[in-house]
Chain A
Amino acid sequence: MAEYIPILVFTAVAFSFPIITILISKAIRAGRFDPVKAEPYECGIVPASEAFDTRFSIRYYLIAVLFVVFDVETVFLYPWAVMFKKLELFGFIEMLVFLGILVAAYIYAWRRGALKWV
């Protein structure tokens, strides 16, 4: 566990760094509040509708779902890759089966138009 201690320390440093810099700039900045400044930027025009009111296109969710499917599978591949030399041919064939399922899912997603963006 000893090698994780520096990481922990560095994490604390990395966590405090942005907070400290932002606090410093807050302390020395010239802040004059103005309601006009607080308006959201929309190319110099008062926006007709709030961005929070709009829902975004469903296709973005689709990407997230696809990502979860494929990323979990890739994560499964990591322990296999580390132990590959010990598993030898059995491991290779097993992984081919696993990848085969992945490819089938990929082709299915492609054919169903999930890989059509916008």
Chain B
Amino acid sequence: MWAELAVTAAKLLVVATVLLTCVPIMVWVERRGAAFIQDRLGPNRVGPMGLLQPVIDAVKLFFKEDLTPGGVNPILYTLAPMVSMFVALVTFIVIPFSADAGVEVFGVPLKGIHVAPDLGVGVLYLLAISSLGVYGIVLAGWSSNNKYSLLGGLRSSAQLLSYELSLTMSVLGVVLVSGTLNLQEVIGRQGPEIWKWHAVTQPIGFIVFLVAAFAETNRLPFDLAEAETELVAGYHVEYSSMRFASFFMSEYINIVTISALTVTLFLGGWQVPWLTATLSGWPLLLVSAGAFAAKVALLLWLFVWVRWSLPRFRYDQLMQLGWKGLLPLAALNLLIVGMAMGQGWL
């Protein structure tokens, strides 16, 4: 009992550490990647290849004055960044990072590197918790008593709500085929072969999910809530110091989470074609965790790549795409998958 708890606690620690380390690495990749795309150097002074730049930035933010402007609603103003951060952290817990390799540590079954993989409602849990994220942004936008924040908050609430629909709908296709909401089982049903991954069997659903994922994480071309050149910084105009950093970090954590979710639902999770089926024990654990990390890294690079390549949508175009483009497509995907299953193809 105690040993089990210790293992769980250790896993929690690993997950939290990995997640929080992902943020500075992601920031670094984004800045160096932007520099690479834009034909310039990027941060290269602090640490080797500027790797410590995000750390220094965090230290700087710690020392910044934490200012609460006069006209704000103090309770909601304080609560908003906490909600954002909390939601971003909590969603990550159900994602299975590796195979259930059945290895033991001190006689205690370790299963895999994941904290709560056997959650029967994994998919629902993820969708439910991540949809709470909109509260952080809306509260921040409204409580700041600032017109730019207000516009940013309203925009992003409309955007997040609209794209959440498409996101939920596109995941339905996966659930339909898997017949389960357990994420580890969803991976298992996809099989090691690439043509059994849902990205291949349900291309429409995959594309809808990916586009909605960009919108849900407020990234270009959907970063209307921030839109530096229109709303200055949108919902977090009035925030400084660690409260601003909370928004900043939660944005990056959300990107990591949604990438991990994409990999889990559509790209076969931790599986490597032919290889993972032949392994067991520790090698399986390590290979599967590595494969998962690699797939997530590729998706993260996609996020960076798109950000520095495309212009921004306008508000009405964004809503149009969400409601008149993605939503019908997601429904269509559901219909196709249902019929294909009726025919016994899936």
Q: Do A and B share a direct contact in the complex (Cβ within 8 angstroms)?
A: yes
Interface residues of A (CB under 8 A from B): 3-7, 9-11, 13-15, 17-19, 21-22, 24-26, 28-32, 35, 37-43, 47, 50-52, 54, 56, 60, 63-64, 66-67, 70-71, 74-75, 77-78, 81-85, 89, 92, 95, 99, 102-103, 106, 110, 115, 117-118
Is A18 in contact with B12, judged by CB distance below 8 angstroms?
A: no
Is A63 in contact with B172, judged by CB distance below 8 angstroms?
A: no
Residues on B with C-beta less than 8 A from A13 are 12, 16, 89
- Chain B residue total in the interface (Cβ 8 A): 77
Contact with A along B250-269 (1 / 0, CB 8 A): 00000000000000000000
A72 CB, nearest partner CB in chain B, Å: 11
Is A38 in contact with B154, judged by CB distance below 8 angstroms?
A: no
- Choice from A14, A29, A63, A84 contacting B65 with Cβ under 8 Å: A29
Is B65 in contact with A30, judged by CB distance below 8 angstroms?
A: yes
Does any Cβ of A come within 8 Å of B245's Cβ? yes
Is A10 in contact with B146, judged by CB distance below 8 angstroms?
A: no
Which A residue sits closest to B62, measured CB to CB? A25
Contact with A along B65-81 (1 / 0, CB 8 A): 11111110000001001
Interface residues of B (CB under 8 A from A): 8-9, 11-12, 15-16, 61-71, 78, 81-82, 85-86, 89-90, 93-94, 115-116, 118-120, 123-124, 144-150, 154, 157-158, 161-162, 164-165, 168-169, 172, 175-176, 179-181, 232, 237-238, 241-243, 245-246, 315-316, 319-320, 323-324, 327-328, 331, 334-335, 338, 341-342
Query: What CA separation (Å) do A18 and B124 show in the bound complex?
Result: 25
Task: Count A-B contacts at CB 8 Å.
Answer: 200
Query: What CA separation (Å) do A117 and B154 show in the bound complex?
Result: 13
Is A77 in contact with B172, judged by CB distance below 8 angstroms?
A: yes
Residues on B with C-beta less than 8 A from A78 are 123-124, 172, 175, 181
With A74-B172, A77-B172, A84-B179 as known contacts, state yes or no: A51 contacts B161, CB within 8 Å: no
Residues on B with C-beta less than 8 A from A106 are 327-328
Is A25 in contact with B70, judged by CB distance below 8 angstroms?
A: no
Query: What CA separation (Å) do A76 and B172 show in the bound complex?
Result: 11
Which B residue sits closest to A91, measured CB to CB? B338
Is B147 in contact with A51, judged by CB distance below 8 angstroms?
A: yes
Residues on B with C-beta less than 8 A from A24 are 62, 242
Is A99 in contact with B181, judged by CB distance below 8 angstroms?
A: no
Q: Give 13 CB contacts A-B under 8 Å.
A: A10-B89, A10-B115, A13-B12, A22-B78, A25-B242, A29-B63, A29-B64, A38-B70, A39-B71, A40-B146, A63-B157, A63-B162, A103-B331
Which A residue sits closest to B173, measured CB to CB? A81
Is A25 in contact with B169, judged by CB distance below 8 angstroms?
A: no
Query: What CA separation (Å) do A3 and B125 show in the bound complex?
Result: 13
Is B119 in contact with A3, judged by CB distance below 8 angstroms?
A: yes
A68 CB, nearest partner CB in chain B, Å: 9
Query: What CA separation (Å) do A66 and B62 show in the bound complex?
Result: 41
- Choice from A3, A70, A82, A117 contacting B319 with Cβ under 8 Å: A117
Given contacts A63-B158, A67-B165, 12 further A-B contacts (CB under 8 A): A21-B242, A22-B81, A25-B64, A38-B69, A39-B71, A40-B69, A41-B232, A67-B161, A71-B164, A81-B179, A82-B179, A117-B158
A77 CB, nearest partner CB in chain B, Å: 6
Is A4 in contact with B242, judged by CB distance below 8 angstroms?
A: no
Is B63 in contact with A30, judged by CB distance below 8 angstroms?
A: yes
Which A residue sits closest to B317, measured CB to CB? A117
Residues on A with C-beta less than 8 A from B120 are 3
Query: What CA separation (Å) do A9 and B168 show in the bound complex?
Result: 27
